[in-house]
Amino acid sequence: MLAPPSAGFRGLLPLLKPHRRRLVAGGLCMVVFVLSFPLLAWLAGQLIPAIGAGDLQRVLRAIAAALGVFLVQKAAQFGQDTLMAGPALQVSQELRRRLFARLQKLDFNALEKLSAGDLTYRLTEDADRVGEVIYKTIQDSTPSALQLLVVLGYMVWIDWPLALATLLLAPVVALLVSSFGARVMAAAERSQQQVSDLAALLGEAIGGLPLVRAFAAEPWLQQRFDTEIDLHRRARYRTLKLLALQHPVVGFIEAAGILAVLLIGAARIQAGGLTSQGFSSYVAALLMLIDPIAHLTTNFNELQQGQASLGRLRAIEAEPIEVADRPDALPLTTVRGGLVLERVRFGYDPAQPVLHDLSLTIDPGQVVALVGPSGAGKSTLFSLLLRFNTAQQGRVLLDGHDLANLRARDLRQAVALVPQQSSVFSGTVAEAIAFGRPASESQIRAAAELANASGFIEALPAGYGSRIEERGSNFSGGQLQRLAIARAVLGNPAVLLLDEATSALDAEAEAAVQRGLERAMAGRTVLVIAHRLATVQEADRILVLERGRIVEEGSHDGLMAQGGRYRDLCDRQLIRVEA
């Protein structure tokens, strides 16, 4: 999709392609804008000697012409800025859109590695910074660079020996100015170090005051403190002295540079190589270099920061994405809901299996409770059934089809998840149930009815149109769970994966959720990670999972009588008895 990470900003150029026409129009405006500078410099060359000569006629003509040029220049600048802004913003939008699309396809294990906060930062702050750089490069750096070149070219055209002398002088001035700046920076850093030394001593002193007093060590500590603040004062004074020197020295170097240009200019005029008009134009052009240089320097710094941001965005692309559907993937039509695991072995790190040779057959319509200590591999089993992860050995079959041969979308329509934490997206209640799927109002109502949620939804002031706040904060835990059940049954899945909430609701809410679950489960194959005795007792089969293996299997009574791991879990109340 995007160019390789090493390509930096240049790799984004293909994204500009669709906006060629606007860019060309903006480019034309840019040319007009840039060419106006030498024209203005030339007019300055006409104007200044005319002012000197008191020739009002010529002054008026030059001023009128300059006004006209300024008008055209500003109009061109407006055209350039607006025409270029559109494509620049669209490129950064497209970049963000592609990254988000990539994020949606990312492998879950890769996703877990990148924290949510970090990803949010990348897709907001980093993407903003990259967008800003794209904008600045197109709309500011390009015309500035062109202006620099055109104005320099004009200066060479006026008088190349003078231009050459200026070009030789400029680096000397820049070098002197920046070397002085570096010394000031170094001094500032040293004085900053003194400040943190002082803070460290203060921290130690304040914490240790009782000890100092107990040992009557106040004079000793005062002495240390006095030395430290003396060092601090000296470092600070050195910086201030350098700063005080900076303005006059830099100012002097710059003035000397300008005076040198004047001197060389005078010599060129005397030698007959340059007219006074030409020299006036030259000085005006020289002043026109200041702005683009300043812009280019600032933009260059931003470009470097942007490079780091772009790198962080590009790193997302290096992360693995979900296994794609096979090109010859089978479409799933009617699903009965039979599940088979054949000697499945899986580990997030293949060297450390989480599930070992797990074999299991679940008939359509069967309700199976999965119990076991935390970390046994129950959620991992769910992740295999939804093809979030793929077994390293063995097969997982739905109605006899290997999941690897199905289309993920079909599979996830047939197998629905009710997660432990009933997270819903903000939006209306109806939207939360439909969750992006095309569903009629009556289908949404039927799903809510099944999940025992229609009662509380209809009691809301806006019914199905009521808004859910972020993270469902304006709904109770029990209500959110019932919404999650309605969301799961909306597509009429053949298989339901339930991850029962571990934290207890109050008895009434629990009973309401339970009624919803019972109705939702009817006629489906259900695999439930169970934490409540009532759920376990209603299951057709109980599987006890421990360290990735099924260690016991049977009915509640049978397993209790057996007195093994299951009984142990019940005795340790890892399976709740209440409600």
Long-range contact set of residues 20-24: C-beta below 8 Å, sequence gap at least 24: 22/83, 22/84, 22/86, 22/87, 23/83, 23/84, 23/87, 23/138
Q: Which is nearer to ligand ADP, 58 or 541 (CB)?
A: 541
8 A C-beta contact, residue 508 and residue 553: no
Residues 39-58 that bind ligand ADP (CB under 6 A): none
To the nearest whole angstrom, how small is the minimum distance from the Cβ of residue 323 to ligand ADP?
15
Q: Which is nearer to ligand ADP, 136 or 378 (CB)?
A: 378
Q: Which is nearer to ligand ADP, 274 or 526 (CB)?
A: 526
Q: Which is nearer to ligand ADP, 278 or 353 (CB)?
A: 353
Q: Which is nearer to ligand ADP, 29 or 543 (CB)?
A: 543
CA 542 to chain centre: 44
To the nearest whole angstrom, how small is the minimum distance from the Cβ of residue 382 to ligand ADP?
8
Tokens 């794609």 correspond to 324
Q: Which is nearer to ligand ADP, 349 or 557 (CB)?
A: 349
Residues 301-360 that bind ligand ADP (CB under 6 A): 348, 354
* Mask for 266-305, x = binds ligand ADP (CB under 6 A): ----------------------------------------
To the nearest whole angstrom, how small is the minimum distance from the Cβ of residue 413 to ligand ADP?
24
Q: Which two tokens stand for residue 251?
A: 């100012």
Question: What's the CA gap between 33 and 295, in Å, rounded?
Answer: 16
8 A C-beta contact, residue 371 and residue 543: yes
The closest of 293, 303, 298 to 144, measured between CA atoms, is 293
Q: Which is nearer to ligand ADP, 298 or 420 (CB)?
A: 420
To the nearest whole angstrom, how small is the minimum distance from the Cβ of residue 476 to ligand ADP?
25
To the nearest whole angstrom, how small is the minimum distance from the Cβ of residue 579 to ligand ADP?
23
8 A C-beta contact, residue 527 and residue 498: yes
Q: Which is nearer to ligand ADP, 197 or 546 (CB)?
A: 546
To the nearest whole angstrom, how small is the minimum distance from the Cβ of residue 348 to ligand ADP?
3
Tokens 């001094």 correspond to 187
C-alpha R_g of the chain? 37
Residues 135-194 that bind ligand ADP (CB under 6 A): none
Q: Which two tokens stand for residue 353?
A: 């299996």
To the nearest whole angstrom, how small is the minimum distance from the Cβ of residue 418 to ligand ADP?
15
Tokens 């409540």 correspond to 532
To the nearest whole angstrom, how small is the minimum distance from the Cβ of residue 528 to ligand ADP?
12
8 A C-beta contact, residue 371 and residue 434: no
Q: Which is nearer to ligand ADP, 292 or 353 (CB)?
A: 353
Question: What's the CA gap between 51 and 277, in Å, rounded?
Answer: 11
Residues 355-384 that bind ligand ADP (CB under 6 A): 372, 374-380
Residues 82-141 that bind ligand ADP (CB under 6 A): 109, 112
Bridge partners for 554 per DSSP: 542
Element (H, E) at 396: strand 393-398
8 A C-beta contact, residue 498 and residue 517: yes
Q: Which is nearer to ligand ADP, 401 or 531 (CB)?
A: 531
Question: What's the CA gap between 214 and 221, in Å, rounded?
Answer: 13
Q: Which is nearer to ligand ADP, 160 or 348 (CB)?
A: 348
Residues 56-75 that bind ligand ADP (CB under 6 A): none
508 touches ligand ADP by CB under 6 A: no
Instruction: Give me the torsion for CA of 156, 158, 159, 160, rounded to 10°.
Output: 20
To the nearest whole angstrom, how small is the minimum distance from the Cβ of residue 352 to ligand ADP?
8
The closest of 421, 574, 384, 413 to 500, measured between CA atoms, is 421
To the nearest whole angstrom, how small is the minimum distance from the Cβ of residue 547 to ligand ADP?
9
Element (H, E) at 496: strand 495-499
To the nearest whole angstrom, how small is the minimum distance from the Cβ of residue 572 to ligand ADP?
15
Contacts of 564 (CB under 8 A, 6+ apart): 544, 551, 552
To the nearest whole angstrom, how small is the minimum distance from the Cβ of residue 197 to ligand ADP?
44
* Mask for 379-418, x = binds ligand ADP (CB under 6 A): xx--------------------------------------
Give one word for 370, left, alpha or beta, with left for phi > 0 and alpha for psi -120 to 50.
beta
Q: By CB under 6 A, how many residues form the interface with ligand ADP?
A: 12
List, in sequence order, the alpha helices (H) in 4-107. Answer: 20-53, 56-105
Question: What's the CA gap between 353 and 393, in Å, rounded?
Answer: 10
The closest of 387, 452, 392 to 413, measured between CA atoms, is 387
Question: What's the CA gap between 300 and 502, in Å, rounded?
Answer: 54
Q: Which is nearer to ligand ADP, 446 or 551 (CB)?
A: 551
Quick check: helix, strand or coil at residue 148?
helix
8 A C-beta contact, residue 280 and residue 44: yes
To the nearest whole angstrom, how small is the minimum distance from the Cβ of residue 435 to ligand ADP?
24
To the nearest whole angstrom, how small is the minimum distance from the Cβ of residue 578 to ligand ADP?
21
Question: What's the CA gap between 322 and 144, in Å, rounded?
Answer: 45
Q: Which is nearer to ligand ADP, 142 or 380 (CB)?
A: 380
Q: Which is nearer to ligand ADP, 378 or 532 (CB)?
A: 378
* Contact positions vs ligand ADP (CB under 6 A): 109, 112, 348, 354, 372, 374-380
